Amino acid sequence: MLKYILAMGLGLLTMSPATANAAEPESCKPVRFSDPGWTDISSTTAAASIVLEALGYAPESAMLTISVTYASLKNGDIDAYLGDWQPSMLADRQPYLDDKSIVVSGPNLTGAKYTLAVPAAAAAAGVKDFADLAKHADRFDRKIYGIEPGNNANRMLQDMIDKGDFGLSGWTLVESSEQGMLTEVDRSIQEDRWIVFLGWEPHPMNTRYKIDYLTGGDAIFGPNFGGAEVFTNLRTAYTQECPNVTRFLQNLRFTLKMENEIMGAILTDGAEPRAAAAAWLKAHPDVVKPWLEGVTTFDGKPALEAVEKAIEG
The reported pLDDT for the residue numbered 5 is: 33
The reported pLDDT for the residue numbered 245 is: 97
Domain end: 206, 226, 246, which one? 226
Backbone angles phi, psi at 175, to 5 degrees: -90, 140
| β partners of residue 145 | 174, 197
What distance in Å separates the CA atoms of residue 67 and residue 89, rounded to the nearest whole number? 10
Give the pTM. 0.77
Domain end: 195, 210, 226, which one? 226
pLDDT tens profile 158-167: 999 999 999 9
User: Average pLDDT of 189-198?
Assistant: 97
Q: Specify whether the CB–CB gap between 27 and 53 falls below 8 A.
A: no
244 in a structural domain: yes
CB neighbour class for 137 (10 Å; exposed up to 12, middle 13-18, buried from 19): middle
Q: 237 and 102: one domain? A: yes
11 in a structural domain: no
Q: What CATH number does the domain containing 276 carry?
A: 3.40.190.10
6 in a structural domain: no
pLDDT of 21 over the 90 cut? no
261 in a structural domain: yes
The reported pLDDT for the residue numbered 268 is: 87
Q: 155 and 210: one domain? A: yes
Domain end: 226, 253, 286, which one? 226
Task: Tell me the pLDDT band of 17, cut-offs 50, 70 and 90.
Answer: very low
pLDDT tens profile 101-152: 999 999 999 999 999 999 999 999 999 999 999 999 999 999 999 998 888 8
pLDDT of 11 over the 60 cut? no
- DSSP state, 278? H
pLDDT tens profile 196-238: 999 999 998 998 899 999 999 999 998 999 999 999 999 999 9
Q: 161 and 296: one domain? A: no
The reported pLDDT for the residue numbered 287 is: 97
Q: 240 and 285: one domain? A: yes
Contacts of 257 (CB under 8 A, 6+ apart): none
Q: Find the domain containing 157 and state its range.
A: 112-226
User: Average pLDDT of 29-49?
Assistant: 96
- DSSP state, 209? S
Residue type, 277: A
Q: 211 and 240: one domain? A: no
Buried b (16+ CB within 10 A) or exposed e, 112-133: bbbbbbbbeebbeeebbebbbb
Q: 207 and 117: one domain? A: yes
User: Average pLDDT of 267-282?
Assistant: 95
Q: 201 and 152: one domain? A: yes
Number of separate domains in the chain? 2
Q: 58 and 38: one domain? A: yes
20 in a structural domain: no
Q: 98 and 242: one domain? A: yes
What distance in Å separates the CA atoms of residue 100 and residue 235, rounded to the nearest whole number? 9
Q: What CATH number does the domain containing 179 carry?
A: 3.40.190.100
The reported pLDDT for the residue numbered 20 is: 34
Beta strands, E only, the chain: 30-35, 58-63, 80-86, 102-119, 143-145, 172-174, 196-201, 211-213, 228-235
Of the CA atoms within 13 Å of residue 132, those in its CB half-sphere come to: 19
Mean pLDDT of the residues in the chain: 91
The reported pLDDT for the residue numbered 313 is: 74
User: Average pLDDT of 256-269?
Assistant: 93
What distance in Å separates the CA atoms of residue 186 and residue 198, rounded to the nearest whole number? 13
Q: 234 and 179: one domain? A: no
pLDDT of 244 over the 70 cut? yes
Q: 140 and 192: one domain? A: yes
Buried b (16+ CB within 10 A) or exposed e, 218-247: eebbbeebbbbebbbbbbeebbeebbbbbb
Helix, strand, coil % (nearest 5) of the chain? 50, 20, 30
What distance in Å separates the CA atoms of residue 259 and residue 41, rounded to the nearest whole number? 9
22 in a structural domain: no
298 in a structural domain: yes
Q: Residues of the chain with pLDDT > 70: what percent?
A: 93
The reported pLDDT for the residue numbered 8 is: 35
The angle subtended at Cα 89 by Cα 245 and Cα 36, nearest 5°, is 60
pLDDT tens profile 278-293: 999 999 999 999 999 9
Could you tell me how far CA 113 lies from the centroid of its own chain?
12
pLDDT tens profile 43-66: 999 999 999 999 999 999 999 999
14 in a structural domain: no
